[in-house]
Amino acid sequence: MVCPHCGTVHRHYFKASRKLWRCIACRKDFSVTSGTIFAFHKLPLRIYLAAVSLFVNAVKGISALQMARDLGVQHKTAYVLIHKIRESLLIGRNESALAGSVHIDGAYVGGTVRPENRKEDRVDLRLAENQDPDKRCILVMRQNYTDEETERSGKVGAERTLTFIMKKENQADIGRFAPTYIAKGSVICADESDAYDLLHAKYDVRRVNHSLEYAQAGAEVPGQLRQRDRLP
């Protein structure tokens, strides 16, 4: 066992009264959860493990109220547990560059403006001046399994996913994220948003016109150009 405070190996003794170990070198106490998201826990570890299981198996997410009912704890306790799990995902996530076939797209969430009751009082919510300023874009970059990996292991879909929060899809942020998180030589699949236009200079970019199709098959055709880029 290694002391999480000074790194000393196998120089500690167990304090049965407190169920802790004390390092002989630095004289500090530690437990099996020291340095983890479960440090300083007051609930039994089985509650924490059950919370992790509920969190990762909830396909559409889970609310603190639902977790509190499932675990038999207070709402505040479940709220803190969920945020600890989310924090651990950010701290421990692999941020190395994606490679191969990388799909990139943005989804806008929050800031929903409720339409007026009378039709003549309603405004066009597609215009920027009529949208809620709290709306944010969740940018997603997904690395897909290659054909060789699919044939070898049977795995399909996304191998790794990175997410980022921004105000909206724009060339400045895309131009900053792409060189850092997408390796050179990768094939990028994106939609027709002008935020991805600058990627053509550094990557092999395939574009899909979502007004014609949603499936990614259209983006997999080598050398396919967007409709407005085609020659007459």
- The two tokens of residue 31 are 């437990």
Report if pTM > 0.75: no
CA distance 79 to 67: 8
Average pLDDT of the segment spanning 126-132? 78
Angle at 128 between CA 107 and CA 196, to 5 degrees: 45
Neighbour tally for 22: CB within 10 Å: 15
Mean pLDDT of the chain: 83
CB 170 within 8 A of CB 197: no
What's the pLDDT score for residue 55?
A: 94
What's the pLDDT score for residue 219?
A: 45
Of the candidates 51, 47, 49, 41, the residue with the CA atom closest to the CA atom of residue 83: 51
CA distance 67 to 74: 9
User: What does the pLDDT look like over 13-24, one tens digit per residue?
Assistant: 888 887 888 988
pLDDT band at 215 (very low <50, low <70, confident <90, very high): low
Strand partners, 109: 136
User: What does the pLDDT look like over 163-197, one tens digit per residue?
Assistant: 999 988 999 999 999 999 999 999 999 998 999 99
Which is more confidently placed, 91 or 138?
138
What's the pLDDT score for residue 203?
A: 93
Average pLDDT of the segment spanning 191-205? 92
Residue type, 63: S
CA distance 81 to 57: 15
Phi-psi region of 100 (alpha: psi -120 to 50; beta: other; left: phi over 0): left
User: What does the pLDDT look like over 76-114, one tens digit per residue?
Assistant: 999 999 998 988 888 778 889 999 889 999 988 876 667
What b-and-e string marks burial along 155-165, b requiring 16 or more CB atoms within 10 Å of the CB? eeeebbebeee
CA distance 65 to 199: 43
What's the pLDDT score for residue 39?
A: 80
